[in-house]
Chain A
Amino acid sequence: MLALAFLLPASAQRTLTGTITDASGEPLPGAAIKVVGSQAGFITDVNGRYEIQGVKFPVKVVISYIGYADTELDLTGNEPTPYQIILDNSKNLLDEVVVVGFGTQKKSTLSGSVGVVDGSTLNQRPVVSAANALQGADPSVYITTSNGGPNSSASINIRGSLSLNGGSPLVLIDGVEGDLAMLNPNDIESVSILKDASTCAIYGAKASAGVVLVTTKQGSTGKAQITYGFRQGWIQPTTDMDMISTGYDHISLINYFQQHSFHSSRLNEYDYTVANGELLKLFERRNDVTENPDRPWVEVGDDGYYHYYGNFDWFNYFYNMNRPTAEHNFSVSGGNDGVRYYVGGRYYDETGLLDAGLSDHFKSYSFRSRITAKVNRYIRYSNNISYAKKNYAWQGNSNMEATLENLWRYGSPAFSPYNPDGTLVNYPIELSNAAKTNVMGNYANQALSGTNHNSRDVGNLTITNKLEITPFRGFTIVGQYDFRRIDNYYAYRTGKYYWSNQPGVVHEMSGTTDSYKEDRNWRQVHLGTVTAQYENNWGGHYMKVLAGAQYETSHSTNLNVKGVPVLIDGYDTFALIDQSSNEDGSPKASYVVGNSTSEYATLGFFGRLNYDWKGRYIFEASARYDGTSRFGEAHRWGFFPSLSLAWKFSEEPFFKPLQSVISDGKLRFSAGSLGNQQVSNYYYIETISIDNTQDYTFDASTKSRYASISSPVSGSLTWETVNTYDAGLDLSFFNKKLNFVGDIYIRDTKDMLTASVALPEVFGATEPKENCADLRTRGWEFSLSWRDGFLLGGKRFNYSISGFLGDRTTVITKYYNPTGTLSSHYAGKELGTIWGFRSGGLFASDEEAAQYTFDINSRQFQPGYYYPGGGVCVDGPGAKAGDFKLLDIGGGENGEPDRIISKGKNTLEDHGDLDIIGTTQPHFNYSFRLDFDWNGFDFSAFFQGIGHKDWFPLGAYGGYAFWGPYSSTSITFIHKRFMENVWTPENPGAYFPRPRGYSAYTSNDYYTGLGVTNDYFLQNIGYLRLKNLTLGYTLPARLSEKISINKLRFFVSGENLWYYSPLKKHTRLIDPELASASGTSTSNTGVGYLYPRTISVGATVTF
């Protein structure tokens, strides 16, 4: 206990006493409380008690405590005594320090647009990597994963599409480029999202799509802290995958669709008929969940072949519907005046989706150390090392997504995976109608054979050395050298496998080989940075100047080797390639080797000036001058300036009266220009490659090779330029309980590299790309948060609600498209625009349908209705009640209907019956979260979603999940309740039309236009998702300390627990986030690695 001396007049003086606690009511010993304008103050005792004598009310006091921002309180003297002061756990947002490019800045004087994500909201999420955790963390950030698997890649964009040539944000982890998918979310201290040109310009050419700045945790002085966290989770699909698993129901449904299709030659896709008794056999076994010895699922027929009459649940056989995942986290941090350190490690393990004893498996390890040492008064040295590795191993085909897709084809619960003698089932007689098609494209056999397995390893190593020299106060020179190495290592082993469709006869799968392939590529990056910074303030002026330079080189190499034949199954090594010779002396072994190498280098000079007067008028200017090896010497350099201004009007004297309501208010404006160098490394020069083979032979033994030159290039190729204008308003109300941040912005991308002019064909090559297209994005976003607390049952109850909403629209403002063809972009096109037909829904009666095909010619898109003779369709030819109708809305004189469904010339001027029916761009992305804590309990719920995004399900190969048997009738998986949505005379209000197989399959002669882009089947895949729900309980310190534990917290956490999407009305099988995913075998189908829902329990303990 230490009381400070005070010297004040004695009049109207009282003693101020009370306690200072944190939000949970725990007393804070050692907190400083000080009376503003006097020397009076006090440091709290172990019970958080304070006492200041002789205080003259009203008074302003400042409370300071380590880890908390200073808190000012105005006291009238009427407060209860003793007066309890509660420091808000959630830091005082507006006084936060924000990480920006090459430094930090006080949020209060920030003039650019920066989104800040607190690491604690990411830390304990049960997710694979930081990329998943960041989804929905900021209104400007839109993250999609390539599929639902643990090894999927994430694509990030900030404020919409930057350029037709792509462009993804620069992700910097402690100043070095990194991969969010390789980052342990528990290592994150904070994330800054730099959105506008003023904040990004310092990074120049790479930053035109925005910057994600991740700062990892570092040690603080004091007692060493050891933290260990453990989590065990279970992953299920987000969707309801309750598939038909009885042969009878499956075959009946499939063949019903087939019989009512215009698909010509066969009535039964799977060859089971009533006439031959096969259907009866299936019916008899319909209720046999397991095989009844009296009614075997596989019989040998009179023809000597196996015949299949089972109820095999392929979906649950192949898919693991409740797969475990576990995570261990470990960190040690601490330090003293000289050295501070943080060391963290993580092990993550996820059992994959494929079951049947051949599970795919994902593991990742990461390690990070961060050590800072004070060498002397002037010099500080720090060293960061991080290594992350992930491994994914799977069986079967080298393309996992292709396996998942092919399981949907030519399978049936009637079949079993194995024959009674243990051989693999394939080419069953029941598929002979379908031209003797193999079951599941052989992919199931390939996976089950055990002779085909693959693995993929990715390793990221980053080493950072940083020297900070501070010769005198306010001046700092930083020299930094970073090294990165990224390794990708793939290994594929393929082996022969065998199948049978009759007892005693086993066939080798044709085309299979015993081969082993390794594909290794590695990339090394060296990055050197020097910056100098000077900072000073005088008489209300504040100024900071930064200048620096950065040089980067990157070298990547790929080497792949494939060798055949490998002698022994199960071994993955070139050492076991058969080295013996054939009879003619030629070696049996053969190898294919591929190799490629590529390099780039960039150099940039940059500077920034910050100035403010009394924190009221704020000015910032920055610029970067960047050079890249990707352009020719004359066009190599680009200059990218930016400027931002802010007026913190709440600091103005005239604003004082309003401060009790609006505690803080700031207007911001920024403008600037950035570059985009999104071209391949050697795009600007023509090169000759000789590693090409063609379908021509000169010697009857090898394909001939030939040399080829890359496409001609424009001599003047240079940067795309991105100009950004941003205006923002920051407001805080009610003593910063309510906070608002809003921005509107325009982003102009100029001089995008596209084909410049169409050259006559005599040119003899593709037109060189030039900088000649523009696009403009306009958008807005805002976030709103409320945080407060009250006493409940004598304990502090803290809660907060926050949310955001953002939207943007991107329009192409310049594009070379003289004919106005819709198959290309055109000026004025909103990015993502979907052109399609309008539909009149389903025909109510046969008469209406007949009249329609009499009145209107839709043959081009609904050939099925005009198919001569109708094939063997039991309904006969033509359209019927329940069939699907396209509307004739144009194409004739003055855009009048012309009685023909057509695309016209597919141009802007003549687009027939096409109309703009939707957009593939996501609109209105939003999220909101609710947190509270009380008496050791903490709770958070995080919702995230997209207001609107259109998706047209692919009506061709692979579109099985949405279309079911409307795509191809030969599909394996059909939801048990699929028919509820299907039109029948008894179910006339259904969404899907009259059941006809192949009617959505656009690439055949039988379809009826379901799969041609139209507004009826256009799906809104906007969604609202309960992204995360966490409930935790922290043991009171007095209890945990008894077992020498500082903190012990138990938690239950759920990821993707619930969602709503309009898509749910039309399909149960497709998660909206998977629908338009790019990483599925055939994109735009929703057939791929199932989107995960994870429920976890765990504990974190700190010593």
Chain B
Amino acid sequence: MKKIFSVAALSIAVGVLFSCEKINQDLTRLPIDDINPEAYFSSESECQLWLNRCYANYFTVPVSSCQWCSDDCVSNNMSGWMLGTRLVTSGNTGETYWGWSTMRRINLFLENSSHCKDESVRLRYEGEARFFRALGYYLKVCHFGDVPFYDHVISSTDTTALRQPRDPRGYVMLQIMKDLDFAAAHLPEKADIARVTKWTALALKSRAALFEGTWRVYHADDVFAPKNDPSEFDGKPVSLNAKYFLELAADAAEQIIDNGPYSIYSRGDEPYRSLFSSDEAIPEEIILTKIYNNTTSELKNFGHSMPYNYDQYNISVPRRIMNMYLCSDGSRFTDKSGNETMWFLDEVANRDPRLSETFMCPGYKLVGANSLTPNTFYKTYTGYKPIKFAAKEENAIMGKGVCDMPLFRYAEVLLNFAEAKAELGSLTQADLDKSINQLRGRVGMPKLRVSVTLDPYMVKCYPYSRMTAGNQALVLEIRRERIVELIFEGFHRYDVLRWREGDQQRNDRYDLCGKKVSGYYGVYVPGPGLYDMDGDGVNDFEIYVSNKTSGPEIPASNARKLSDLNLVDPEDPENPNPKKGYMTAYRNDTACQSWDEGKDYLYPVPQPQIDLTLGALTQNPGWELQ
């Protein structure tokens, strides 16, 4: 008995040992409801699901708290780069700054897209991935200049790649152009407001190339001038300069103008306003949009916060920008006598219609409303209260705005085209007619002529524009058009950078009356009194000195105390309690008074990133730690 059991025990033990290897494999448990990356990317829906994330990561809320704004928009929440509070020690690692997770996602797709055996599907989504890689790098170049370029997924142990130095911006821009050419070649031609197409790729190409081209024009002789441009790219010799990129910009834009399915929307009474106040994006002009909607149960809280944020952040526009709107006859407002101290109602009368379609002026009605809404200078610094993206009353609540937000629209393409041509010095009247004058035509403004004369006011606003010879008058007119047409769409801050006009946005530079003052000026208030702000012939607004004097016909919410308007009297700028003067933002504040021409055009590379790469990454000019 003993023996039998011993033998049995021994054979069990031996059996166990021999089956070890098999058992080791048997211990493997692979995920059941998740997917192995080896098998992914084989179908169109898998590719699409993967790249969907790029939209959400790069197309963040375009209009939120005006954090992206420049001197075209002052608020109580000015961005760090306007306040001079950017820090080298931390931050700026969001996806559109020094964040790289979307880049990893894109490169991971491109490394594995061969799993997709349907070539047309594969090429289309490779196109989409490369569009986003180009967009990501474009934003990185905008913010940081030189950045390391990666076309592959980095392993956690690949110290060479992890500590790769920054590539020259010229090289990165060429990569961007290459990606966009690939994208334009393989993305669908059919217009689609929700997903990127060939036309989106070309529009981005014109945007990025114009940025680089004008950067090279205006930063040619400062510390931000591009260095170490490659002499060869993709096996071919290249010679990079401003012209190289401006031609690419003009060419990409012209392809859309000549072959694309887009036109300038001009139906209805207020075509410009309705482009931004309609629930659904207008596909004739909108190339790509961010859709907002709250009609279905799943999208119940799927809105943006415009125009709620206009109130929340006191968002308003300084007089300097308002002055750029021409009069409706094409003449310049700043040429009018007495324009400096003109009362609001006179100031906004007979101007480019886009003024009253962008700001709350007499006659303003909410979409679908029967009654007029007067501008009572509620929650505004300057009195110029934006209404772009404002629709119905119900949309004026936080998160309830549902007008789709344009990400790319045809008007920008036309402006890119005209500006590139103007900077190249080759802008013809025919070019103007098919670009700028399309925009002017929509709002019934007279055409812009190549023979336009130099506007001294615009020169004062953009002194660096002198640097290009000969075509300064046209360049400035196109800038005016760009500011007026694209205001609040997120372009101006990047324009200020590439035009090298950062110093002009300081709030202590505005001396419209020849005196050194500080603050962003707004509406000129002639003094206390009763006013008709909605233009219906009945007074509906009171400015009082100490107590409201009007009866119940003007509710308290429509009355403002003079001292709350924070006036600065141009004739007596030191007077803290003037009876008349400009409404002013940041009058006694040091905010927005710093701009370092040798530093502020680029963001600092986050110092921890420099430390982590053992100094392989270098710092941008002016941001080096002392």
Contact = CB atoms under 8 A, between A and B. Distances in A.
A931 B280 CA distance: 80
Nearest to A600: B29
A690 B29 contact: no
A690 B104 contact: no
A890 to B, nearest CB: 21
Given A472-B1, A762-B100, A764-B100, A687 B612 contact: no
B617 to A, nearest CB: 8
Interface stretch (A48-56, A383-391, A706-714, A863-871): A706-714
Contacts of B98: 761
B441 to A, nearest CB: 31
B228 interface: no
A627 B21 CA distance: 12
A744 to B, nearest CB: 38
B23 interface: yes
Most buried by B among A471, A599, A633, A705: A471
Nearest to B605: A761
Given A602-B27, A627-B27, A705-B52, A688 B35 contact: yes
Contact of A596 (B4, B33, B56, B297): B33
B162 A599 contact: no
Interface stretch (A275-283, A696-704, A778-786): A696-704
B27 A636 contact: yes
B104 A765 contact: yes
B296 A702 contact: yes
B206 to A, nearest CB: 24
A767 interface: yes
A696 B59 contact: yes
Contact of A764 (B103, B295, B302): B103
Interface residues of A, number: 63
B2 interface: yes
Contacts of A596: 33
B30 interface: yes
A595 interface: yes
Contacts of B612: 758-761
Contacts of B609: 760-762
A1011 to B, nearest CB: 25
B31 A682 contact: yes
Interface in A611-628: 627-628
Interface stretch (B148-156, B327-335, B349-357): B148-156
A686 B293 contact: no
B24 A475 contact: no
A694 B23 contact: no
B298 A702 contact: yes
Contacts of A690: 35, 46, 49
B299 A472 contact: no
A708 B5 CA distance: 56
Nearest to B192: A698
A273 interface: no
A701 B35 contact: no
B302 A687 contact: no
Nearest to B280: A700
A621 to B, nearest CB: 19
A771 to B, nearest CB: 14
Given A685-B30, A687-B31, A762 B150 contact: yes
B531 interface: no
A62 interface: no
A758 B611 CA distance: 10
B156 A709 contact: no
Nearest to B99: A761
Interface string A806-822: 00000000000000000
B27 A762 contact: no
Contacts of A764: 100-105, 153-154
A530 B161 CA distance: 52
Contact of A762 (B30, B49, B102, B162): B162
B539 to A, nearest CB: 30
A763 interface: yes
B87 interface: no
A84 interface: no
Contacts of A636: 24, 27
Given A636-B24, A767-B156, A689 B35 contact: yes
Contacts of B302: 695, 697, 703
Contacts of A709: 37, 105, 108
B78 to A, nearest CB: 19
Nearest to A762: B100
Interface string A933-947: 000000000000000
B33 A595 contact: yes
A241 interface: no
A37 to B, nearest CB: 35
A682 B291 CA distance: 37
Given A697-B302, A709-B108, A764-B103, A682 B34 contact: yes
Contacts of A702: 296, 298-299
B227 interface: no
A698 B24 contact: no
Contacts of B297: 590
A760 B35 contact: no
Nearest to B150: A762
A688 B36 contact: yes
A704 B50 CA distance: 11
A759 B158 CA distance: 10
Contact of A759 (B153, B162, B291): B162
B28 interface: yes
A477 interface: yes
Interface string B288-304: 00110101111100100
Contact of B37 (A603, A687, A759): A687
Nearest to A595: B33
Contacts of B27: 601-603, 627-629, 636
B109 to A, nearest CB: 10
B34 A688 contact: yes
B94 to A, nearest CB: 10
Interface string B12-52: 11001000000111111111111111001000001001101
A597 B295 CA distance: 34
Nearest to B100: A764
Given A471-B5, A682-B31, A760 B163 contact: yes
Contact of B53 (A633, A700, A706, A712): A706
A682 B299 CA distance: 33
Contacts of A763: 100, 104, 154, 156, 162
B55 interface: yes
A698 B291 contact: yes
Contacts of B153: 764
Contacts of A700: 280, 291, 293, 295-296, 299
A547 B16 CA distance: 12
The 7 closest A-B pairs by CB, nearest first: A764-B104, A687-B34, A471-B5, A764-B100, A629-B29, A707-B49, A696-B56
Given A703-B299, A704-B55, 16 more contacts: A590-B297, A598-B33, A599-B29, A601-B29, A685-B30, A685-B36, A697-B302, A698-B195, A706-B52, A706-B56, A709-B105, A712-B156, A760-B617, A761-B99, A762-B148, A764-B154
10 contacts: A598-B32, A598-B33, A603-B23, A688-B36, A700-B280, A700-B299, A703-B299, A760-B612, A762-B154, A763-B104
